[in-house]
Amino acid sequence: MSGTLTRLILCLGVIIGMVPIYVVVVMAVANQASGDYDTPFLVAGAVTGLCFMASWNMVWRTQVKWTNARIGLTTMLLPASLLLAVVAYGVVVAIESHATEVGIVLGTIAWAAGWLIGTALIWRETKPERAARLRAHGVHALPCPQCGYNLTGLTQTQCPECGTKFTLDQLVADALDQRAEASV
């Protein structure tokens, strides 16, 4: 199974796994606070939301190129997505002032959706990053210094196209020069 497929299944598992956590916490807190309908949903929303964020980060952590900008934006995403939750709650209560539990549940969903969409945008690979990654692993990673034939995967240092023999240090030096030029 490829790493990407594993990660997608993990994501699905994380999202589905939040349902039993939410339900169990709602029931447990409701037992303690009988007659109070808001607290169970508030506590369950907070617990589930934090579990979700933590497991989401664990699934994707190694895939994200952590620049200072990404770390800063991801940190700001927590208050931003919580603000989204407050707005969703406010909208529901403005429409129907007694529907506070509905507001809390929708606020929790808004928080999770904000976190999902926000991380997808912030953690996305930029075009220059993608170009650098493809250059590093790409098919033209090691062209013959003489004729440009792709030497990737060869177990000897003679170019099969033009027949020129190289030493390893010549090939390495040439590849480093090429990359330095490409990244300017």
Q: Does the protein bind Zn ion through residue 58 (CB under 5 A)?
A: no
Q: Which residues pair with 150 in a beta bridge?
A: 143
Q: How far apart are CA 80 and CA 13, in angstroms?
A: 25
Which of 29, 73, 82, 149 binds Zn ion (CB under 5 A)? It is 149
Question: Could you tell me which stretch among 27-35, 88-96, 128-136, 145-153 binds Zn ion (CB under 5 A)?
Answer: 145-153
Q: Nearest CA to 30 among 18, 46, 41, 21?
A: 41
Q: Does the protein bind Zn ion through residue 161 (CB under 5 A)?
A: yes
Q: Does the protein bind Zn ion through residue 165 (CB under 5 A)?
A: no
Q: Does the protein bind Zn ion through residue 150 (CB under 5 A)?
A: no
Q: In the complex with Zn ion, which residue's Cβ is closer, 61 or 165? A: 165
Q: Are 88 and 106 in contact (CB under 8 A)?
A: yes
Q: How far apart are CA 147 and CA 143, in angstroms?
A: 8
Q: Shortest gap between Cβ of 146 and Zn ion (angstroms)?
A: 4
Q: Are 41 and 26 in contact (CB under 8 A)?
A: yes
Q: Does the protein bind Zn ion through residue 84 (CB under 5 A)?
A: no
Contact residues: Zn ion, CB under 5 A: 144, 146-147, 149, 159, 161-162
